[in-house]
């Protein structure tokens, strides 16, 4: 453990508090009196009478000042209690971790595939800058980042499942069911990772130390894969981290199209149902995971970039 | 007199840019003998560095190069990429300005020195490391710093690393492009001493590129003055300081003379849109009609040459 | 600036992007006169008819002319995306300039807020806000603005910090120009290039987001002719009438691509580092 890592972790604490604050306050941006909404949802009645609303408030501490309510909520969260879903009656935490592995598996496979495809292509593209190959790869990458994932998913269903009948449309449970959602996620990610790798490589290849390497007589393959690659990888890791960070949330659309019972889809369904404990809990947990991943990426950085490892005050670039 | 080691004949470099062709250097003729040190001096933007990069074929893709660079009887401009790599680092080494940006930030400096050894002498990892340590000691870096990264070194120390790297396999010539420009005065002197020492001890020719006349006097046997992409004067060092010929050289020396600082009026011409006639004429106090119309040729005397209409052989 | 305008015209992809955007803008502005039919007019006799001369893109499940709906969709997407980008930009400009220029505690506070905003996956927060406020197009625009400004404020802050150090800003402060004057005379024009690039690339992303949310049912609601919700509405007819799903998707992709082409071109033209390389 060095001072850089400790510093990064300490800096994450206020951010975590901010996240919890925002997640909790989602209840209050909802139009109308929260007590009334909650009661209506719980009881299923159209118009709860005033006495019932008042009793509900007293019972759930909704008459307390907001910061006390928040404090109580946070206290419970720290104890691992995020309340129960209005819809299913099960604890929010349980609901989350029942679904998280499904989403996680989808994103992890898709992202790793994307990285394996996109980084070499980006490097090839940059090392053949302005050649026909470069132009073709660039063009496809641009299509990839411009293609709406929901449309891509539907097109895949249309061509692969309906037209070619290779994979049944709704096949959750079989391993084949992973193919289409992963392809959808992977294409978008791969395109953006490739664009970034290419841009980053072009930037690095312009640096003086690349000229030094060439002046030393290092061959072009080594210049690209040894000298440039590690420098160029640094921004790529960031993007990879952000993509991974979306592993709990960014898949909502894909999960909806392919009826994948993951975290994102449950969240959207809960939003429709105004299931506030689930909304608050899921948003908090998803953001927390996102934060933890970006934290680990920052730490992974220091492996690739010694300037950060030694924590120099001013980064010369 | 020793034999010629590197000879540049009629080197022209142009760059294709959005603003049209840039005429970066024009009809350059230079010669460096074995164990000699030659200095190329000129203002910023006159094309000095382009000459240095052209020697090792390290110019960017938009450069158009013509002429000859004869090194040990071979024309370097005709070598293929693989042959060129054999020359780079192995026979001709290069040192650049801003050493901080010339070292790869993600590798330890020792490895970067050792890499040069592994490429050309096919040494194994341990042998390369041993030899790299020797080189570090040679240029005055403590061997304990083998595993440290470039950002942990000061500018002067970084330049020592570059010198160690350049020495890695006893090149015949070191091309040093403004090696001390970004350093403070004391460090400058140390680095120049070191360069001079290592080139003399190892019988290496030095091709030094600078804009600093003080450096020239300390370091070199002869010099060439470059102005707006052309060599305007060539002379042995003593003769140059004793009796400069070209009006530009005189102005340069005048700008640092004891009688006070005399800046040269006007500014360096734009290389995209060069004037007819002598390129220096708008700033020259001896400018005559012919200077505005006709581009002067190099006129040679016994030990020196000058490109000016006011001298005839 | 003229020079970069010229190099944009030299860049073919950027030119394609720019012309596509201009065409889309013309379509959006003149939607009532270019669309052959009323996009809302239900005609049950003609439901789900394939593309023909009369209906170049066919009709949807309620017999509405699909081409007219696509044309009106252009208007909706472009307006909403421009609105979101503008508001985000203005907020970002205020926050970023204040943060970069005044520094100290102002900077510290604002950047902590930005950090927290960035720590949220933006899609999730947009979904949550749009969903809780109630699924309408206006609420979606609010939700997307809430997350949209963050990127701009960061960029503007760093541009301001860069410009602030430059001599002419220091000297204009030295001759007694007021803070606000310095900011608007020097800093803003100097920071504008990267902002234009980001805003152009962002337009594409905002359109993707808008359509995605509407596709999920969290934005424009039927019968509004919005591309995302049209795609959603066309989904059940994937087998019988795939054009209902193909056309809106294609339009989204073309629009987003156009902005990406232009944004890439602008970045290459305005990035001084890339320029420097060419000019040596």
Domains of chain C: 23-254 (1.10.3720.10)
Residues on C contacting B at a C-beta cutoff of 8 Å: 3, 6-7, 10, 277-280
Q: Any residues with CB less than 8 A from the CB of B253 and at least 6 apart, and which?
A: B213, B241, B244
Query: What are chain C's partners, defined as 3 or more CB pairs within 8 angstroms?
Result: A, B
Distances (CA, A) of C107 to A12, C152, C180, C189: 18, 15, 16, 21
Does B213 fall in a domain? yes
Average predicted confidence (pLDDT) for chain A? 82
The domain of B8 spans 4-91+171-311
Average predicted confidence (pLDDT) for chain C? 83
Does B254 fall in a domain? yes
User: How many beta-carbon pairs below 8 A join chains A and C?
Assistant: 134
Does residue C10 belong to the interface with chain A, where contact is any CB pair within 8 Å? Answer: no
Q: What is the pLDDT of residue C8?
A: 59
Name the residue with tokens 């209690």.
A81
Q: What is the pLDDT of residue C274?
A: 45
Q: What is the pLDDT of residue A310?
A: 47
- How many folded domains does chain B comprise? 1
How would you write chain A as a 3-class SS string? Answer: CCHHHHHHHHHHHHHHHHHHHHHHHHHHHCCCCHHHHHHHHHHCCCCCCHHHHHHHHHHHCCCCCHHHHHHHHHHHHHCCCCCECCCCCCEHHHHHHHHHHHHHHHHHHHHHHHHHHHHHHHHHHHHCCCCHHHHHHHHHHHHHHHCCHHHHHHHHHHHHHHHCCCCCCCCECEHHHHHHHHHHHHHHHHHHHHHHHHHHHHHHHCCHHHHHHHHHCCCHHHHHHHHHHHHHHHHHHHHHHHHHHCCCCCCHHHHHHCCCCCHHHHHHHHHHCCCHHHHHHHHHHHHHHHHHHHHHHHHHHHHHCHHHHCCCCCCCC
Does B175 fall in a domain? yes
Query: Could you give the CA distance from residue A13 to residue A19 in angstroms, rounded to a whole number?
Result: 10
CB contact under 8 Å between C280 and B19, yes or no, is: no
DSSP-derived 3-state class of residue B94:
strand
CB contact under 8 Å between B106 and A214, yes or no, is: no
Does B190 fall in a domain? yes
pLDDT tens digits for range C71-97: 999 999 999 999 999 999 999 988 988
For chain A, domains (ranges, CATH) are 16-78 (no CATH), 99-264 (1.10.3720.10)
pLDDT tens digits for range B4-33: 889 999 999 988 877 778 888 888 888 898
Structure tokens at C171: 């000297």
Does residue C42 belong to the interface with chain A, where contact is any CB pair within 8 Å? Answer: no
So what's the ipTM on this one?
0.84
pLDDT tens digits for range B40-92: 998 877 888 889 888 888 888 788 899 999 988 888 888 888 888 888 878 88
Does B71 fall in a domain? yes
Does B299 fall in a domain? yes
C21 pLDDT exceeds 90? yes
Residues of C in contact with B24 (CB under 8 A): 280
Query: Could you give the CA distance from residue A260 to residue A63 in angstroms, rounded to a whole number?
Result: 40
CB contact under 8 Å between C277 and B19, yes or no, is: no
- Residue B148: closest CA among B140, B158, B139: B158
Q: What is the pLDDT of residue A312?
A: 40
Q: How confident is the model at residue C272 (pLDDT cuts 50, 70, 90)?
A: low
Q: What is the pLDDT of residue A250?
A: 65
Q: What is the pTM of this model?
A: 0.80
Q: Quick one: what percent of chain A has pLDDT higher than 90?
A: 16
B35 pLDDT exceeds 80? yes
Mean pLDDT value of segment C19-41: 89
Q: What are phi and psi of A256, to 5 degrees?
A: -70, -45
Q: What is the pLDDT of residue A169?
A: 64
Does B178 fall in a domain? yes
Q: Which of B102, B117, B122, B148 to mutate to test the interface with A (most CBs of A within 10 A)?
A: B102
Q: What is the pLDDT of residue C228?
A: 92
- Give buried/exposed letters for A138-163 (b at 16+ CB in 10 A, else e): beebbebbbbbbbbbbbbbbbebbee
Q: Any residues with CB less than 8 A from the CB of A98 and at least 6 apart, and which?
A: none
Residue B259: alpha-carbon gap to chain centroid: 29
CATH number, domain at B237?
3.40.50.300
Most confident of B95-109, B113-127, C186-200: B95-109
Does B143 fall in a domain? no
Query: Could you give the CA distance from residue A270 to residue A278 in angstroms, rounded to a whole number?
Result: 7
- Residue A151: closest CA among B35, C154, C228: C228
pLDDT tens digits for range C134-181: 888 999 999 999 988 998 898 888 878 877 777 666 777 677 666 667
For residues B43 and A168, which has the higher predicted lDDT (pLDDT)? Answer: B43
Query: Could you give the CA distance from residue C20 to residue C17 in angstroms, rounded to a whole number?
Result: 5
Query: Could you give the CA distance from residue C114 to residue A148 in angstroms, rounded to a whole number?
Result: 27
A311 pLDDT exceeds 90? no
CB contact under 8 Å between A29 and C235, yes or no, is: no
Residues of C in contact with B62 (CB under 8 A): 278
């Amino acid at each position: 453990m060095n001072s850089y890592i400790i510093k990064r972790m300490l800096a994450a604490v206020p951010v975590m508090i901010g996240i919890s604050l925002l997640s909790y306050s989602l209840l209050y941006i909802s139009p109308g009196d929260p007590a009334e909404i909650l009661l209506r949802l719980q009881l299923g009645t159209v118009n709860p009478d005033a006495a019932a609303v008042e009793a509900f408030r007293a019972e759930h501490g909704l008459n307390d000042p907001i910061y006390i309510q928040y404090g109580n909520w946070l206290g419970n969260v720290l104890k691992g209690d995020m309340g129960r879903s209005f819809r299913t009656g099960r604890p929010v935490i349980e609901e989350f971790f029942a679904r998280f592995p499904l989403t996680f598996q989808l994103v992890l496979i898709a992202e790793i595939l994307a990285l394996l495809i996109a980084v070499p292509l980006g490097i090839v593209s940059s090392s053949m800058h302005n050649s026909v190959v470069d132009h073709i790869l660039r063009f496809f990458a641009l299509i990839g980042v411009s293609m709406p994932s929901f449309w891509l998913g539907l097109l895949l269903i249309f061509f692969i499942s309906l037209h070619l009948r290779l994979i049944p449309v709704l096949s959750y449970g079989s391993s084949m069911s992973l193919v289409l959602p992963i392809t959808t996620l992977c294409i978008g990610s791969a395109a953006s990772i490739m664009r970034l790798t290419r841009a980053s490589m072009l930037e690095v290849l312009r640096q003086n130390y690349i000229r030094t390497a060439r002046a030393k007589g290092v061959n072009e393959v080594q210049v690209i894969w040894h000298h440039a690659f590690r420098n160029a990888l640094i921004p790529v890791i960031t993007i990879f981290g952000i993509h991974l960070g979306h592993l709990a949330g960014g898949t909502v659309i894909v999960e909806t199209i392919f009826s994948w019972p993951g975290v994102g889809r449950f969240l959207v369904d809960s939003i429709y149902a105004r299931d506030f404990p689930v909304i608050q809990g899921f948003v908090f947990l998803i953001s927390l995971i996102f934060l933890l991943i970006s934290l680990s990426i920052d730490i992974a950085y220091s492996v690739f970039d010694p300037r950060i490892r030694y924590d120099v005050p001013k980064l010369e670039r | 007199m020793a034999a010629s080691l590197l000879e540049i004949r009629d080197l022209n470099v142009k760059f294709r840019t959005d603003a049209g062709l840039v005429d970066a250097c024009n009809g350059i003729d230079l010669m460096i003998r074995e164990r000699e040190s030659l200095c190329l001096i000129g203002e910023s933007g006159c094309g000095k560095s382009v000459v240095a990069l052209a020697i090792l074929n390290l110019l960017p893709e938009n450069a158009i190069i013509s002429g000859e660079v004869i090194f040990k009887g071979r024309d370097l401009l005709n070598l293929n990429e693989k042959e060129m790599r054999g020359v780079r680092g192995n026979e001709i080494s290069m040192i650049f300005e801003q050493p901080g940006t010339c070292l790869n930030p993600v590798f330890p400096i020792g490895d970067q020195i050792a890499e040069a050894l592994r490429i050309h002498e096919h040494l194994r990892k341990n042998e390369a490391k041993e030899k790299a340590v020797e080189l570090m000691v040679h240029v005055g870096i403590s061997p304990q710093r083998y595993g440290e990264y470039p950002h942990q070194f000061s500018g002067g120390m970084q330049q020592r690393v570059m010198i160690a790297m350049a020495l890695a396999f006893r090149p015949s010539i070191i091309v040093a492009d403004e090696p001390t420009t970004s350093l403070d005065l004391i460090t400058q002197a140390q680095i120049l001493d070191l360069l001079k020492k290592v080139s003399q001890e190892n019988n290496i020719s030095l091709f030094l590129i600078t804009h600093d006349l003080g450096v020239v006097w300390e370091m070199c046997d002869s010099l060439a003055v470059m102005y707006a992409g052309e060599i305007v004067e060539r002379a042995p060092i003593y003769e140059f300081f004793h009796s400069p010929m070209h009006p530009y050289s005189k102005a340069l020396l005048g700008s640092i003379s004891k009688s006070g600082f005399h800046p040269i009026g006007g500014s360096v011409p734009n290389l995209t849109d060069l004037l007819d006639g002598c390129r220096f004429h708008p700033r020259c106090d001896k400018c005559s009609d012919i200077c505005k119309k006709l581009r002067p040729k190099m006129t040679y005397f016994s030990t020196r040459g000058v490109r000016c209409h006011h001298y005839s052989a | 600036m003229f020079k970069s305008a010229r190099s944009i015209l030299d860049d073919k992809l950027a030119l394609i992007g720019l012309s596509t955007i201009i065409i889309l803008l013309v379509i959006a502005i003149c939607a009532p006169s270019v669309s052959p039919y009323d996009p809302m007019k239900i005609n049950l006799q003609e439901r789900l008819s394939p593309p023909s001369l009369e209906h170049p893109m066919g009709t949807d499940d309620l017999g509405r002319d699909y081409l007219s709906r696509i044309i009106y969709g252009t208007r909706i997407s472009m307006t909403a995306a421009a609105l979101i980008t503008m508001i985000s930009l203005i907020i970002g400009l205020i926050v970023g300039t204040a943060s970069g220029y005044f520094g100290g505690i102002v900077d510290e506070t604002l950047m902590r807020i930005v950090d927290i905003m960035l720590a949220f996956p933006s899609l999730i927060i947009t979904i949550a806000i749009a969903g809780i406020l109630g699924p309408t197009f206006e609420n979606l625009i609010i939700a997307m603005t809430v997350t949209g400004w963050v990127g701009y404020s960061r960029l503007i802050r760093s541009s301001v910090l860069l410009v602030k150090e430059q001599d002419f800003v220091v000297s204009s402060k030295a001759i007694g120009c007021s803070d606000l004057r310095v900011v608007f005379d020097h800093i803003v024009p100097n920071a504008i290039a990267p902002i234009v690039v980001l805003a152009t690339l962002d337009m594409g992303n905002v359109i993707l987001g808008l359509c995605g949310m509407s596709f999920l049912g969290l934005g424009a609601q039927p019968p509004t002719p919005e591309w995302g919700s049209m795609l959603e509405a066309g989904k059940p007819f994937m087998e019988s009438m795939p054009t209902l799903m193909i056309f809106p998707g294609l339009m989204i992709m073309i629009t987003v691509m156009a902005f990406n082409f232009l944004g890439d071109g602008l970045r290459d033209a305005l990035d001084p580092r890339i320029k420097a390389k060419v000019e040596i």
